[in-house]
């Protein structure tokens, strides 16, 4: 056991005490005994970037569990460095979730069978999460800081391998950015940012006859991706799986390879968090290299994903070079990068304040034809991306807007509950209830910590 005190030292104001306690109950409810699940009914396994968000909140109330969740996830890391987007719970039956472990049919890796997981990834938010848990633990004194440093020492080489996999093997277009090979890798699963690139992927509906959807048994079909999109998702997995999960010549072999501004912004932020971690571990040279990599990724995002006419960041199809025609919340997240050019910072802030988005930001431009108030990432408000957007505001000293966004998110959850996502007009809770990352990030927002501890990489 780690020498952490049993409760958080954060002073919670009386009006927020109820929300704090309800958030803690959600995280306790979703603890499986081995890891935290996103929500018990719809998501019975361990998800990758959910684990990172949840760790940020657990840092306040149970740091031991935060480290344990990160350990459990990284114990499933592949030899090539990829961290799977789902680690399957062996106590959950194959038929309880699709696509389950049998569908992924993982190869033997480095002479041994892989842990039950998927073969795709999610945004590499884990270095940032580890740094946040460490910062919180350090506030408890030397003994806690020492234990947390030990955790960082275990995670650091694994986090580096994750970055190396993404920056080297996934640079499909050779432009310095990672490509996602499946919409699920973005975390923004059915965003219209992918529609143009997905148009060339066959929607074989017979796949749904052979592999029936499980999500519609517990969710409203009007809120979930369409059958056509789901058929494309299954087909993309089969293509990637049957190619041995190889990333060689992705642009030629695989029908979907896209550079996402949100994914790559998180990739850059991870390098900055690794620089901080390397500093704690006494690895000065490594810290400098991480900061250099963050600068390179920021420059590549500014160069490749910026659409000058609309002054927005867009997803780029690595196969065709075309930018997505749709403004999505993913285009606001480069704001997290401290070295982003000032004119692009101003443009993002203007976009966030505009009638197209507003705060809290919906997942898609409200004026776009693809905007849907109920359907997953095609309109609803999500706490996790708004939390990331708020960090970007803090990084660039936009404290007034950051505070406005913090209050709006807390009001949304206080009035409607810890839902997976929310109606962008009424605030109604949608998707899975008792959702872990919503609860975890509420704890961080209630604590209202200072701006992130990184600055321009001068």
> Pick the catalytic residue: 50, 259, 372, 420?
420
Q: How far is CA 314 from CA 92, 263, 308, in A?
A: 38, 12, 10
Residue whose C-alpha is closest to residue 69's, from 30, 110, 19: 30
Could you confirm whether 164 is annotated as catalytic? no
Q: How far is CA 407 from CA 132, 332, 410, in A?
A: 21, 19, 5
Say if residues 442 and 408 touch (Cβ distance below 8 Å). no
Handedness of CA 12, 17, 19, 21 (dihedral sign): positive
321: how many CB neighbours lie within 10 A of its CB? 11
Say if residues 177 and 259 touch (Cβ distance below 8 Å). yes
What distance in Å separates the CA atoms of residue 317 and residue 251, rounded to the nearest whole number? 10
> Pick the catalytic residue: 171, 185, 189, 339?
189
Residue whose C-alpha is closest to residue 298's, from 456, 100, 68, 82: 456
Phi and psi at residue 306, to the nearest 5°: -85, 130
Residue whose C-alpha is closest to residue 56's, from 8, 121, 5: 8
- DSSP symbol at 106: P
Query: H or E element: which one contains 46?
Result: strand 46-47
Phi and psi at residue 219, to the nearest 5°: -140, 155
Residue whose C-alpha is closest to residue 420's, from 395, 396, 438: 438
Measured over all CA atoms, what is the biggest interatomic distance in the chain, rounded to whole angstroms?
59
What distance in Å separates the CA atoms of residue 241 and residue 243, rounded to the nearest whole number? 5
What distance in Å separates the CA atoms of residue 61 and residue 22, rounded to the nearest whole number? 12
Could you confirm whether 189 is annotated as catalytic? yes
Tokens of 112: 């041994």
Residue 235, CA atoms < 13 Å, CB-side half-sphere = 21
What amino acid positions are annotated as catalytic residues?
A: 189, 420
């Amino acid at each position: 056991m780690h020498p952490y005190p049993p409760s958080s030292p954060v002073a919670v104001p009386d009006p927020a005490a109820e929300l704090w306690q309800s958030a803690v109950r959600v995280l306790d409810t979703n603890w499986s005994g081995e890891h935290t699940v996103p929500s018990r009914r719809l998501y019975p396994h361990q998800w990758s970037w959910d684990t990172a968000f949840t760790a940020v909140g657990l840092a306040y109330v149970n740091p031991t569990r935060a480290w344990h969740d990160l350990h459990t996830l990284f114990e499933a890391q592949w030899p090539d460095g990829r961290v799977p987007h789902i680690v399957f719970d062996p106590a959950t039956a194959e038929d309880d979730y699709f696509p389950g472990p049998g569908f992924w049919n993982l190869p033997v890796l480095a002479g041994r069978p892989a842990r039950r997981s998927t073969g795709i990834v999610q945004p590499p938010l884990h270095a940032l999460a580890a740094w946040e848990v460490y910062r919180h633990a350090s506030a408890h004194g030397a003994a806690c800081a020492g234990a947390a440093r030990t955790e960082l020492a275990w995670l650091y080489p694994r986090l580096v391998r994750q970055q190396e996999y993404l920056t080297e093997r996934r640079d499909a277009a050779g432009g310095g950015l990672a490509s996602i090979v499946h919409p699920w890798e973005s975390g923004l699963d059915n965003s219209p940012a992918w529609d143009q690139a997905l148009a060339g992927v066959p929607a074989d509906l017979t796949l749904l006859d052979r592999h029936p959807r499980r999500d519609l048994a517990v969710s409203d079909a009007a809120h979930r991706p369409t059958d056509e999109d789901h058929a494309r998702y299954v087909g993309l997995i089969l293509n990637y799986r049957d190619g041995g999960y190889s990333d060689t010549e992705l642009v030629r072999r695989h029908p979907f390879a896209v550079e996402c501004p949100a994914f790559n912004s998180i990739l850059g932020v991870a390098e900055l968090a690794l620089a901080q971690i390397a500093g704690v571990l006494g690895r000065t040279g490594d810290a400098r290299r991480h900061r250099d990599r963050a600068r390179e990724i920021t420059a590549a995002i500014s160069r490749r994903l910026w659409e000058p006419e609309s002054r927005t960041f867009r997803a780029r199809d690595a196969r065709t070079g075309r930018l997505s025609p749709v403004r999505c919340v993913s285009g606001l997240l480069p704001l997290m990068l401290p070295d982003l050019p000032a004119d692009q910072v101003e443009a993002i802030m203007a976009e966030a304040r505009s009638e197209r988005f507003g705060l809290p930001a919906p997942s898609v431009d409200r004026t776009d034809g693809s905007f849907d108030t109920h359907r997953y990432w095609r309109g609803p408000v999500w706490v996790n991306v708004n939390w990331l957007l708020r960090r970007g505001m803090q990084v660039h000293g936009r404290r007034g807007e950051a505070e406005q966004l913090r209050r709006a998110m807390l009001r949304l959850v206080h009035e409607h509950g810890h839902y997976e996502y929310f109606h962008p007009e009424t605030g109604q809770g949608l998707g899975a209830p008792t959702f872990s990352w919503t609860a975890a990030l509420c704890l961080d927002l209630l604590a209202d910590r200072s701006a992130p501890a990184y600055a321009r990489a001068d």
